[in-house]
Structure formats: structure tokens, C-alpha cells
Chains A and B, each alone.
Chain A
Amino acid sequence: MSISELSRRRFLQLGPGASAGLLIGCGSRELDTIASFATTREEQRFRNARLHIDTDGSINFIVPSTEMGQGVQTALTMLVAEEMDADWNRIQTTFAPYDPAFDNPSYFIQVTGGSNSVSSHWVKLRKLGAAARAMLVEAAAERWGVKPGECSVAGSIVSHPSGKSLGFGALAEAAAQLAPPDDPALKTPDQFRLIGRPVPRLDTPAKISGGAIYGIDVKLPGMLYATVAQSPVFGGKVASWDEAAAMAMPGVRKIVALEDGMAVVADSHWRALKALEALSIRFDDGPNADRNSEEFTRMLEASMQEMDKEPFPEAAQRLDVEYQAPFLAHQPLEPMNCTAQVTPTSCRLWVPTQNLHGAAVAAAEVTGLPRQEIEVNVTHLGGGFGRRLESDFVKQAVTVAKEVDQPVRLLWTREEDMQHDFYRPVTRARFQIALGADGTPEEWHTRIASPSSFQKVIADNFPEFSWLPVQALLGDVNMLAGLGTSFVQSNPFPYAVGKLRTEDEIMDIPVPNGSHRSVQHSFSGFCKEAAIDECAHAAGQDPLAYRRRLLAEEPRYLGVIDLVAEKADWGRPPPGRFQGLAVHRSFGTYVAEVAEISFAEDGSLRIHRIVCAVDCGVVVNPAIAESQVHGAVIWGLENTLRCEITIQGGRVEQSNFHDYEVLHLHEAPDVEVHFVPSAEPPTGLGEPGAPPVAAAVTNAIFAATGRRIRTLPLTRHGLSI
């Protein structure tokens, strides 16, 4: 993919010159209905176009989601190609620019997140492919004077039993003259040829040659380079700076004041960095300069004490336990960046973002231009993990680009990235569990306290609704994931317990937070699954059998538990090794994991393997699916073991990978992934592998040592690998 291919302008210009063939689209809002099909020069129709079959047989599909490694470029293309019966080798893809035609069907804005790219496009994109196939078949049948139902399609070739056959390219023009079918029939899973196969990723060749274009690789004629320094203390402001010293540095073009920091623009990134140093910014730390992690923990502990105001019912056995997990950073390897070109009447962006909508909202706010006139072109993303749902860096790039005549690429340092992330919030939960004589929880009372980002998500993405007290009305959509019974959360507590009661408190903690791969499931998967393990041990029962009994009415939970038990050989670990089990549903997907651990002679922890059983419905591409679960397990494991963001003096203490120690290759255990065969519609896969990891490991540690870990990371308990 070259830069020119990223331009929406060029994309729209496809029409007059290259409109030969069948151009086919579907509106994003009329779910599952197909509209505006025929080849036309009208711009509006091109804007909806997702699929172009050229007269030479080549097929271009516009991928509506952004590719951040999760494999959507391949998986979504497979959905279309499957129903078309297209020749996979003739398909090219481009990434959708900002346009409501490419809105996420579940969110009604153009955003990639929440592990729903495949599930939300599952019917829609297959219908797109099926409609194209039906029109091509009809064109062939008309030409041959036969019935469409007598024709078959394979490898982009329509055939008739009489021996006639024509390729898609030869049929495209005629197909474009036909009316699209209202509701094209879809294949049943037993008819799939591509779906379910480990089709090679479309993005691999460019990603191993160095040729894939990430945001940092965008280069435009005359482009300048900007970098930033923001107030290290959250809520601080710039107090003073030495503009003359910075401007005297070679290649410096401009110094720009930002909301809470400064940007330097120069003719190279290195020169911008050096001038930023010479700028000698002094910050006014503001009201948060004495805030710290210990204080935040005390606030959370105080919230937990609210539970003492109500009596804890009498029972055969009672558990009263508290769990906590820290702030976590995302740290995708490509630092935050955005390239912007702004004139009084236009704003063009090239940006690695999960949220094209949010980028346009941010740019519209800075430029005063209407949102729909903002051009947003998306590149490959060097990781997303939720960090790139935010548009803070887009706002900065547009602010800077307004001040210069050339396009500007704004790029953060790793240190800025580490200290100005939107962190997985620190969260604490307390469980009061009353067990009956048979060990069953008769009452399960949960209190959870955490800061929340929901109001900010609304303000950033739906500014027209920012007056609504969304948080006050709904609480936090994430906080109770898997723990509560609230109507705003989609994964209710699964265990059959007598009486379930959940309460929460949203804490006011001055640290930015946001969506972090698997959001609050990373916490609820930990504390719920460790607590149920505590219940099993208190009841003197095998943790697996105990869960099975409380999930007797949940066949898909049982399915993954039974599969993981078989694959991990539950209950029969090799000598000296110990097992821990956890199961959690998130983003519609059921995942059970067994961690197998031991302790070395020096007391260090060994994590030998993590066995995963996953029920995500139909597995579109097993090779990509496996890699997603692998990655999520590594993510969950580093956050179990040692990753932690701490606050001192109102600022993040960590600054780079030496003190935020993510997992390295030599530390990565064997990860085995097994899928439950299923014909159910696909559910999420990018995130669900992460939530069970922490409890699987800490439950194994309990099995080995009798020591119950209730706060993360493990380094806080003197445990390390």
C-alpha cells in the first residue's frame, strides 16, 4: 500500500476513470440490507462502495475496520470472498477512509474496538458478497439463456452444466446493470470453503519486507516533524519556556503551545527533539502534585468499608475478601503519532487510529470545520489495544498543523507515551460470601470501586450529548463486567448462587483512564475466578467440579471447562507441578484456562504452560484466531506478573520499558489454544483470552503453596519468574 492509496480523494476519483465493472456497496445504518449497487458516477454511491469487481477480474474490497494486528484485513475479506466464491488470489484490499458508510454496525460510529469486527460484520459482509455473486450469476444466466439456479460458482468463475463458463471480470459490466437482490441467501456453515480454514494473512508480505505503512512512515512532500512535552503531573500547565533558545536550534520552524504542554516543529524528528530540550519548559504542577498511589488505595479501601454498614448473614462458612489490581499502560510499540495538513478550508489526516470518528471530532473541534469535511486516512496500526481509541494526539497534530503551511507529522517519545497513556484503572473489590452446608454460596455480595472513563468517552465521541449525565444515569458500563447484575453490562455473573447483590462506587482519581485490552474484564476475570476458587477450597471441593456444579445451566461454560480439563489433563499435573483453573466470558466468548506452574529451587516461579479452551462460535480463521488468544494470554500474563503503573507526586513513575517491564520472548510460556467446534455466529476474539490468565496463575500458586494472592502484580508478593 502506498501513501497515495490512502487518500480518500483518490478513492472517490476511482469513479469516472475506473468505474468499469461492478461496484457494490451497502449502507452502514440499514443493517443487513443492501443498497446502491449499480455502477454510477455519483459520488454518494461511490462513498458507499465496498466492493469493486473490475472487468479484468480483479476485486477490490474496502476493509471497514482498522488493522492493528488482530487480522481483520484478512478475516473480513474472507467473509465477502466466501459468499462470492471469489478467487482469493484476485482480491486486493484497502482501508476505509473516514465516512459514515463504514461505521461500525454495532456502534454507529467508525470505530474498531470491543472485539466485534467479525461479529458485527458477520451477516452484513456475507450478504454483500452473496449479493455480488447473485448478480454475477444472473448476468451469466441471462447471457446463456439458462436459469441462475443451474449455475455454480468457484474461484471467480460461473459455470453451467452445459460446459459454459465465464469469469467474474467478463460478467461484471452486465451484472452492474441488474437490480441487486433484496435479501440474498447465505451459505450454511457446512457449505463454507474459506471460513474455517487457516487462510494466510493478507498483510504478512508487507509486514516482513518493511514495506507496510504505519502512521510513523507517512511521508508527504514538504512535511515537517513535530514532537511534544506534556505536563508530567496530570492537570498541570506550562509555566514558562525559553522560546529563543529553541528557535536558535538548527532546523526549528515553530514552537506551539498545547493544552498542557508544548510542541516543537522542525525539519527532522531529531532536530525537533533536541530543540524541545533547549526549550527548557517549566511546568506549574497544579492541584494534583501531592497525589499518589498509596492514597488512592486508601480511598478504595475506605469505599470497601461501606459494606460493614450492613450485616453479613450467618452461614456455615463465610468469606470476606478484598482484591485489587493496579493501573496498567497499553504501550503499543508504535508511539502515538498523527500526520496533519490544515488550511483554512481543509483538514487532512493520516493516522494510525482505532477511532476515525473520534479523530474527525477532535479535528473539527480544533479547526472549526464541519466534521464531515475532515479527511481521515488510516494507516496500519503498530498496535492498538484500546490506546488508539483516544484522539488526544490527533488534536495535538491538528493544533500544530494549523500553525504551519506544510503538513506536519507529530510523534511522541516513548516517555510521553508511558506517562500520558489512558490507563486501565486501579480497581478494588470486596466479596462477602456466605456458604451453605454443602459449600454452595447462599449469598454473594460484591462491592467494587474504581475510577471510570465513561463520561469522557461520551464527551470525546458524542460531544452533542456531553450535557447528558451519562455516568450518573448508567454508572460505568465496564466496571461490573462479569461481577454484577446491572443492565448496562452484558456479561452477568454466571454462577448459580443463592442471592447475588452488587454495588459500586465510581472514584474521583486524577489519572486518565480508558479502554485497555479486555477493559475491566481483566479485573473481574481475576477477582471473580480467584474468589470462586476460594469458595471451592473452603467447601473442600475440587475447583473444577465446584464450578461445573454452579454452571450446570450454562452449557457453553461447561463446554470450555470440559475441553480445557481434557487438554490440560486436569488433576494430574506432572510431578512437582501445580494447576490453576479460571473461566470467564467476555465479548460473547467463553474462555477457560489452566495454568501449569512450579517453583524453582531458588523460589522463583515457573510458568510452564497455559492451556486455553475457547468457544467463540464459528472460527473464521483458526490460525489468526489462535494468534489472538496467544497474544491476549501474553498480555494477561505480563499484567499478572509485574506490570504496574504507579503514581507519585501526581505523575506516573514509570517512563520506558526498563521500568515498565513487559514480557520478553524467553519468558513466554507454551500457550495451547483449543476451540470448541461450533456453528454459532462468531463472537469476540481479540480480547477474551486475557481475562482468565491472572486467576489461573494465582489459583495454581494457591494449589502449590496455600498462599492466596489477592492483589496484583505478583512482584508485590515477592514472586517473580
Chain B
Amino acid sequence: MLTLNVNGQTMEVDVEPDTPLLWVLRETIGLAGTRFGCGQGLCGACTVHLDGVATRTCILPVSDVGTAEITTIEGLSADNSHPVQQAWTELDVPQCGYCQSGQIMAAAALLAENPLPSDSDIDAAMTNICRCGTYSRIRKGIHRAARLTERTQ
């Protein structure tokens, strides 16, 4: 039995310790918004926050998570009200949408660390793959979310 802290809740999971956190979230806990894309940490579809840091979970054994606070897309906000989600709504960023949970989590982590990122900050931080080519709206969305955050502070 392993104890995990997911979206503010403590839960016990009975899985092999080498199981990647991705599959524990999706299948054991039932939080399917974090998605599987490549299984090698290359695409970022599986990105969640571990103690606020964007982390790719398809290659992270659940036994390595320890007591870190896990935040998934479901835990980012209850009503799409996180500034990144607001900006994504304004700009209609998603196309197929499959990568967007990971994109949003990566963008939220970037903004938490760097509230007013430059284009080159965004270039460096946003390495998630989008096969639909939503990149320009993702970039605009991050700038927009930065302004939304500024306004609420």
C-alpha cells in the first residue's frame, strides 16, 4: 500500500511500486484527464504538478512520489476558473484537445514560477507536443493568463 496526496486528498493505492504515476492516476484513482502520449517523457501529455513543479508522470514510478502533493488537471480548478483555463477559453486554444491537460499544467507551473514570462521563457518551458499545431494560441494564452493573474492580484 502506498499513500498519495492527490488534489488535496490523501489516498491509499495498492499497485506495484514500479507502476508509473500516470497509470495510477488514470486507472486506480480514476482521474482520466491526465493523458498518455508516448510513455517516454517526450510529449508531456501526462504532465501534473508535484509540489507545484510540472512533472511527466508516464516515466515516474509511483514509489518515487513520496509525500509530494500531486495536482492534476482535475485539481487545478473546479470550474475552469484558473487563469490559464480562462485564457484558454477566451482564445479557444484546443483543437483535438488531447494534449491540452498537459499543456495547461505546464503553463500553470510556468506562471507560478514566472508570473510575466517572455516569449523566450515560454519557448524554454513549453516543450509539450501538440499534433494539431495549437502552438501560437498556447503562446498567446500564456501571455493572456499572465495579464489575468496580474489583474486579480
Chain B residues with a Cβ closer than 8 Å to the other chain, count: 56
Across the interface, B32 reaches (CB within 8 A) one of A201, A219, A334, A665, namely A219
CB-based contact B33/A209 at 8 Å: yes
The answer to the question of A216 belonging to the interface, with a C-beta cut-off of 8 Å to chain B, is yes
The answer to the question of A298 belonging to the interface, with a C-beta cut-off of 8 Å to chain B, is no
CB-based contact A69/B38 at 8 Å: no
User: What is the CA–CA distance of A657 and B37 in the complex, to the nearest angstrom?
Assistant: 10
B48 CB to nearest chain A CB (Å): 10
Q: Which of A267-299 contact B (CB under 8 A)?
A: 268-271
| Among A210, A270, A662, A668, residue most surrounded by chain B Cβ atoms (within 10 Å) | A210
CB within 8 Å for A664 and B19 given contacts A207-B100, A208-B100, A630-B133: no
The answer to the question of A656 belonging to the interface, with a C-beta cut-off of 8 Å to chain B, is yes
User: What is the CA–CA distance of A630 and B74 in the complex, to the nearest angstrom?
Assistant: 29
Q: Can you name the residue of chain A whose Cβ is closest to the Cβ of B19?
A: A270
CB-based contact A270/B23 at 8 Å: yes
B138 CB to nearest chain A CB (Å): 6
CB-based contact A205/B37 at 8 Å: no
CB-based contact A208/B37 at 8 Å: no
CB within 8 Å for A382 and B35 given contacts A214-B98, A225-B27, A627-B95: yes
B107 CB to nearest chain A CB (Å): 10
The answer to the question of A211 belonging to the interface, with a C-beta cut-off of 8 Å to chain B, is yes
Binding site of B, secondary structure by majority: helix, strand, loop or mixed?
A: loop
Count class of interface residues, chain A: 35 or more
User: What is the CA–CA distance of A334 and B36 in the complex, to the nearest angstrom?
Assistant: 7
The answer to the question of A333 belonging to the interface, with a C-beta cut-off of 8 Å to chain B, is yes
Proximity string of chain B (4-44) to chain A, C-beta cutoff 8 Å, 1 when within and 0 when not: 00000000000110011001000110111111111110110
The answer to the question of B72 belonging to the interface, with a C-beta cut-off of 8 Å to chain A, is yes
The answer to the question of B1 belonging to the interface, with a C-beta cut-off of 8 Å to chain A, is no
The answer to the question of B104 belonging to the interface, with a C-beta cut-off of 8 Å to chain A, is yes
Q: Which of B118-148 contact A (CB under 8 A)?
A: 122-124, 126-139
User: What is the CA–CA distance of A69 and B93 in the complex, to the nearest angstrom?
Assistant: 11
Across the interface, B35 reaches (CB within 8 A) one of A270, A334, A414, namely A334
User: What is the CA–CA distance of A67 and B138 in the complex, to the nearest angstrom?
Assistant: 20
A115 CB to nearest chain B CB (Å): 14
Which residues of the other chain, A, contact B111 by a CB distance below 8 angstroms? none
Which residues of the other chain, B, contact A225 by a CB distance below 8 angstroms? 27
The answer to the question of B45 belonging to the interface, with a C-beta cut-off of 8 Å to chain A, is yes
Across the interface, B126 reaches (CB within 8 A) one of A219, A382, A411, A666, namely A666
The answer to the question of A671 belonging to the interface, with a C-beta cut-off of 8 Å to chain B, is yes
Which residues of the other chain, A, contact B139 by a CB distance below 8 angstroms? 665
User: What is the CA–CA distance of A624 and B23 in the complex, to the nearest angstrom?
Assistant: 33
Which residues of the other chain, A, contact B16 by a CB distance below 8 angstroms? 250, 270-271
Q: Can you name the residue of chain B whose Cβ is closest to the Cβ of A689?
A: B133
B69 CB to nearest chain A CB (Å): 18
CB-based contact A219/B133 at 8 Å: no
CB-based contact B32/A69 at 8 Å: no
CB-based contact B97/A200 at 8 Å: no
User: What is the CA–CA distance of A663 and B134 in the complex, to the nearest angstrom?
Assistant: 11
CB-based contact B97/A207 at 8 Å: yes
Instruction: Write 14 A-B pairs (CB below 8 A) sorted by A numbering.
Output: A203-B94, A207-B94, A210-B31, A210-B32, A210-B34, A210-B72, A210-B73, A216-B36, A219-B30, A269-B27, A411-B36, A658-B40, A662-B129, A671-B136
Which residues of A are at the interface with B, using a C-beta cutoff of 8 A?
67-71, 200-201, 203-214, 216-217, 219, 225, 250, 268-271, 331-335, 380-385, 411, 413-415, 623-624, 627-628, 630-635, 656-658, 662-666, 668, 670-671
